[in-house]
């Protein structure tokens, strides 16, 4: 991932030609070719935006981005499980916000790019927002951060609200979405919805990976086992939030049918594990299925 120079990706896109998957949507004031995007975690440092564009995604998410360079977990884990799922423990490696901003200033493909922000302490979030708001179309605020200086994640809804509030002040008016962990607890989902409304944020991304343990260390589970929970969450969130707040679905989408089911309640769908596990061909099947189904409507 780190060794791919950006001009190679760009050349590749030009040579391949970007396939068009037409299912136009308007989202937070932006026009997207289609509502399917790459989720945070693969393109941590904005090195692969042209690759993401050339696959045919309607938008992409870079990050999570920290304000300073951070090497992440000393021993990184990324393992396949037999059912299409992955476990990962990367520990938020980041080249830092200034480097990400510089890369996006230099070259960016013609589709929306969201910046996903993480932090080891609450004050990290506004620092990333300030450094990248001129290159971000919207922000995702990732509160499921391991190894925080406060020795807990920021997943408590009150803490999330506080982080959203201070980040909003540094986001130059760019939309801010709260990315939440997976849960089937309806009260907790409702508390996140309240946090978003009270902080004046623009919506929710559901969800991050499920916490699990691998060989005694904490890791995140992604892929198909997440799907039923994410479906439950986006249905609840759409009921709870007013129409001017957006819901973005992410977790376990590995077919056009699952993407379309989530799009009944969510404005956009993001994918990641399906790309890592099955490759870009499967992602293009999802993009094609979604665009054909939406054209028939």
Ligand X SMILES: Cc1cc2nc3c(=O)[nH]c(=O)nc-3n(C[C@H](O)[C@H](O)[C@H](O)COP(=O)(O)O)c2cc1C
Active site residues: 145
What track of x and - describes contact with ligand X for positions 22 through 41 (by CB under 6 A)? -----------------xxx
Structure tokens at 235: 């249905």
Nearer to ligand X, 11 or 258 (CB): 258
Q: Which of 64, 167, 183, 267 binds ligand X (CB under 6 A)?
A: 64
Is 86 a residue that touches ligand X (CB under 6 A)? yes
For the CB of residue 141, give the shortest distance to ligand X in the complex, in Å.
Answer: 9
Restricted to residues 170-209, the positions that interact with ligand X (CB under 6 A) are 179, 208-209
> How remote is the C-alpha of 79 from its chain's centroid?
20
Restricted to residues 247-286, the positions that interact with ligand X (CB under 6 A) are 250-253, 271-274
Nearer to ligand X, 10 or 276 (CB): 276
Peptide bond into 64 cis (omega under 30): yes
Give long-range contacts, CB 8 A cutoff, 24+ apart: 281-287.
Answer: 282/254, 283/36, 283/55, 283/56, 283/57, 284/19, 284/21, 284/55, 284/56, 285/255, 285/256, 286/36, 286/253, 286/254, 286/255, 286/256, 286/259, 287/19, 287/21, 287/34, 287/36, 287/55, 287/56, 287/57
Is 112 a residue that touches ligand X (CB under 6 A)? no
Q: Which of 54, 132, 142, 153 binds ligand X (CB under 6 A)?
A: 142
For the CB of residue 11, give the shortest distance to ligand X in the complex, in Å.
Answer: 26
Quote the CA–CA distance of 64 and 241 in Å, as a whole number: 25
Which chain residues interact with ligand X by CB under 6 A?
39-41, 63-64, 78, 86, 88, 90, 92, 116, 142, 179, 208-209, 222-223, 226, 250-253, 271-274
């Amino acid at each position: 991932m780190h060794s791919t120079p950006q001009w190679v990706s760009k050349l590749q896109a030009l040579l391949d030609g970007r396939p068009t998957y037409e299912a136009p949507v308007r989202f937070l004031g932006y026009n997207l070719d289609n509502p399917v995007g790459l989720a945070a975690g693969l393109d941590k440092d904005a090195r692969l935006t042209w690759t993401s564009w050339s696959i045919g995604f309607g938008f992409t998410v870079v990050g999570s981005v920290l304000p300073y360079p951070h090497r992440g977990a000393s021993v990184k884990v990324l393992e396949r499980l037999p059912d299409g799922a992955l476990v990962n423990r990367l520990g938020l490696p980041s080249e830092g916000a200034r480097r990400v901003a510089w890369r996006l200033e230099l070259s960016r493909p013609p589709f929306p790019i969201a910046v996903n922000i993480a932090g080891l302490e609450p004050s990290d979030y506004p620092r990333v927002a300030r450094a990248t708001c001129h290159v971000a179309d919207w922000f995702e605020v990732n509160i499921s951060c391991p190894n925080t200086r406060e020795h807990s994640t920021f997943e408590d809804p009150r803490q999330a609200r506080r982080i959203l509030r201070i980040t909003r002040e540094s986001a130059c008016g760019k939309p801010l979405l709260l990315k939440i962990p997976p849960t089937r607890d309806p009260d907790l989902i409702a508390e996140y919805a309240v946090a978003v409304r009270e902080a004046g944020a623009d919506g929710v991304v559901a969800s991050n990976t499920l916490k699990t343990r691998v060989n005694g260390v904490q890791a995140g589970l992604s892929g198909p086992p997440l799907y039923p929970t994410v479906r439950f969450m986006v249905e609840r969130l759409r009921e709870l939030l007013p129409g001017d707040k957006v819901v973005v679905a992410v977790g376990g989408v590995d077919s056009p049918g699952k993407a379309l089911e989530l799009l009944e309640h969510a404005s956009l769908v993001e994918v990641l594990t399906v790309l890592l596990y099955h490759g870009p061909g499967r992602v293009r099947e999802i993009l094609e299925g979604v665009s054909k189904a939406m054209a028939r409507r």
